[in-house]
Amino acid sequence: MPDIPAVSRRLLLGGALATGALAAGVGTAHAAPLAQAGAAPAPTRRRRPGQKSMIDVPFDVHKTVRVGVIGLGQRGSGMSEGWSVVPGCTVTAVCDIREDRARRTADRLAANGKPRPAEYGGSDASYAQMLRRDDVDLVYIATPWEFHYRQGKDALLAGKHVIVELPIATELDELWDLVDTSERTRRHLILSENCSYGRNELAMLKMSHEGLFGDVTNGHGGYLHDLRALLFSDTYYTDAWRRLWHTRSTASFYPMHGLAPIAAAMDINRGDRMTVLRATATEPKGLADYRERFIPKSHPSWKETYVNGDLVTCLIDTDRGRVIRAEHDVSSPRPYSRINSLAGSRGIFEDYAGVMATSGGRIYVEPDHSGHAWKPFDTYRKEFDHWLWKKIGDDAADNGGHGGMDYVLQWRTVQLMRAGLVPDIDVYDSAAWCAPIPLSVKSLAAGGRPVEVPDFTRGSWVNLRLGLDSRTSEMPPVA
């Protein structure tokens, strides 16, 4: 265990990151820029008249947060209940193209003793009617990926803040347009990146920022989840939307759950930035092989050809010379992992290291450890537990899916809006974390050649600022 207090340790380690992050910790909005002299200019776009940065822009104070939900399938229906139990939050409207799903969610909320939300449904434009309501402050979008950009943009244009399931969009132009629209409408658009609020992920972030790993040099994350049975199920993903993506495109569709926590630990957009990405893909074997063995020949999937590689890997360089490896594989037999590993000049953390997915991780940091032997992570997780988990960990365990991190994300989002604070994850983070989707397409099409990562912050990435490593704050009392 560390034998000196964390803050002193960070001071002792020194270095630009430690110094700047401490400056941010005592309230300096913009610490000294870290851009290195002579670094190549980042590919970016000019801000148009009427647009201003959304960096460090707090939410207006909302006495209560009134949520409108679009998409009430597996994810949206569960998350609707999650929003409804956060103190000071009410679900006022729900929408699904399938009216019966709006009715079902409204019924369930009413049966739980919550106010009955208004229902919208029946067409793929029903959500636009919902957006006209003036009792919706935050729109939560949990539809298939192909609808996120249009629905997110329309919600911003309707004057709402928006939290969008992964990804916020799948094309570079769309990502830029969401950044521009957020800057123009002065409304926040946030990726609903629940894993960034995972307990181990947040402890890893704190350890990184407090210098435990020394100079962080590399990190690995990903989304490795055997979804084959669900992808071929006729009752899980509506109209098999997720399987169909594997017939259309060769890309890293969904690396954000593993990439975002690594990016946060490396201060991406907050002192560093991703500069270049190169992608590799293995052959698409998993889905066809599964179909051959388990799916009857009469099933509609037999008309499909799967083109996306099973394992798509993105290697991403950062301006400060670090390397991120982000992986995506949902079509191979394997136990679940988001990898979640961070390493530097003084040590390494590896999550998902044991036989059980919930093994709790392992660590090796100097000077605490020596002899080339891993140590359990548990004591470090306790010492570096994020204030959010200390405060609401028990409620999260009672209320939230995915080990409680869904509730932590929802509680924190509502708190930020009710207290009028700056979001932990902003539109620039959201765009940067989703950019590997189109960039991997581009790199794979060019035989794995490196492609430049755009700078959505338009140069502001050089400034250190707080994000998920937020300061402790209270949820305003409910009147």
Ligand X SMILES: NC(=O)c1ccc[n+]([C@@H]2O[C@H](COP(=O)([O-])OP(=O)(O)OC[C@H]3O[C@@H](n4cnc5c(N)ncnc54)[C@H](O)[C@@H]3O)[C@@H](O)[C@H]2O)c1
Footprint (CB under 6 A) of ligand X, residues 57-76: 70-76
Kind and range of the H or E run holding 127: helix 126-131
145 vs 306, beta carbon nearer ligand X? 145
With CA atoms as reference, report the closest residue to 308 among 327, 283, 288. Answer: 283
If one asks whether residue 147 binds ligand X (CB under 6 A), the answer comes out as: yes
**Residue 142 binds ligand X, judged by CB under 6 A:** yes
Q: SS3 breakdown of the chain: % helix, strand, coil, rounded to 5?
A: 40, 15, 45
* Residue 103 lies near ligand X (rule: CB under 6 A): no
Identity of the residue, 236 or 387, whose beta carbon is nearer to ligand X in the bound complex: 236
The verdict on 127 binding ligand X (CB under 6 A) reads yes
Contact between 434 and ligand X per CB under 6 A: no
Q: For ligand X, give the closer residue by CB, 242 or 273.
A: 242
Toward ligand X, which CB reaches closer, 194 or 252?
194
Yes or no: say if 143 and 70 are a contact pair by the CB < 8 Å rule: yes
The verdict on 186 binding ligand X (CB under 6 A) reads: no
At its nearest, how many Å lie between ligand X and the CB of residue 295? Answer: 19
* Residue the block writes with tokens 């019966």: 100
Alpha carbons 69 and 376: distance in angstroms, whole number: 40
Nearer to ligand X, 74 or 358 (CB): 74
C-beta separation of 250 from 431 below 8 A: no
**Which tokens hold the place of 142?**
């949990």
Determine the Cα–Cα distance for residues 50 and 239; give it in Å rounded to an integer. 40
Residue type, position 352, single letter = Y
In which residue are the tokens 């926590």 written? 261
CB of 109 to ligand X, least distance (A): 16
Residues 191-210 that bind ligand X (CB under 6 A): 192, 194
Nearer to ligand X, 71 or 344 (CB): 71
Of positions 28, 51, 238, 249, contacts ligand X by CB under 6 A = 238
CB-based closest residue to ligand X: 73
Measured between alpha carbons, how far is 6 from 206 in angstroms, rounded to an integer? 9
Q: Which stretch binds ligand X (CB under 6 A): 49-57, 139-147, 314-322, 456-464?
A: 139-147
Query: Is residue 96 within the footprint of ligand X (CB under 6 A)?
Result: yes
3-state secondary structure of 392: helix
Taking CA 400 as the corner, what is the angle to CA 399 and CA 403, rounded to the nearest 5 degrees?
Answer: 125
237: contact with ligand X by CB under 6 A: yes
Distance CA 193, CA 221 (A): 14
Assess 143 for contact with ligand X (CB under 6 A): yes
**Among 145, 149, 197, 290, which residue interacts with ligand X (rule: CB under 6 A)?**
145
Minimum CB separation from ligand X for residue 444, in Å?
21
Length of the chain: 479
Which residues are CB-contacts of 160 (< 8 A; sequence separation ≥ 6)? 68, 131, 136, 137, 138, 139, 187
Does 181 contact ligand X by CB under 6 A?
A: no
**CA 343/CA 219 separation, integer angstroms:** 6
136 touches ligand X (CB under 6 A): no
Q: Which range binds ligand X by CB under 6 A, 31-39, 94-102, 243-251, 431-439?
A: 94-102
Smallest distance, ligand X to C-beta of residue 130, A: 9
Q: Beta 347-350 vs 362-365: how paired, if at all?
A: antiparallel
Q: How many residues bind ligand X (CB under 6 A)?
A: 27
DSSP 3-state assignment of 327? strand
Q: Which is nearer to ligand X, 20 or 198 (CB)?
A: 198
C-beta of 238: minimal distance to ligand X in Å? 3
Taking CB under 6 A as the binding criterion, the range among 109-117, 144-152, 339-347, 372-380 that sits at the site for ligand X is: 144-152
User: Quick check: helix, strand or coil at residue 322?
Assistant: coil
CB of residue 154 vs ligand X: minimum separation in angstroms?
11
Residue 95 makes contact with ligand X by CB under 6 A: yes
Determine, following the binding rule CB under 6 A, whether residue 280 of this chain makes contact with ligand X. Answer: no
CA 432 remoteness from chain centre: 10
Candidates 98, 184, 375, 442; binder of ligand X (CB under 6 A) is 98
Quick check: 337 binds ligand X (CB under 6 A)? no
Minimum CB separation of residue 127 from ligand X in Å reads 5
State how far Cα 454 lies from the chain centre. Answer: 18
Q: Is 165 in the site for ligand X (CB under 6 A)?
A: yes
Distance CA 456, CA 364 (A): 35
CA distance 49 to 58: 22
How far apart, in whole angstroms, are the C-alpha atoms of residue 196 and residue 469?
Answer: 11
- Residue 124 engages ligand X in binding (rule: CB under 6 A): yes
**255 touches ligand X (CB under 6 A):** no
Q: What is the three-state SS of 30-48?
A: CCCCCCCCCCCCCCCCCCC
- Residues within the interface to ligand X (CB under 6 A): 70-76, 95-98, 101, 124, 127, 142-145, 147, 165-166, 192, 194, 237-238, 241, 402
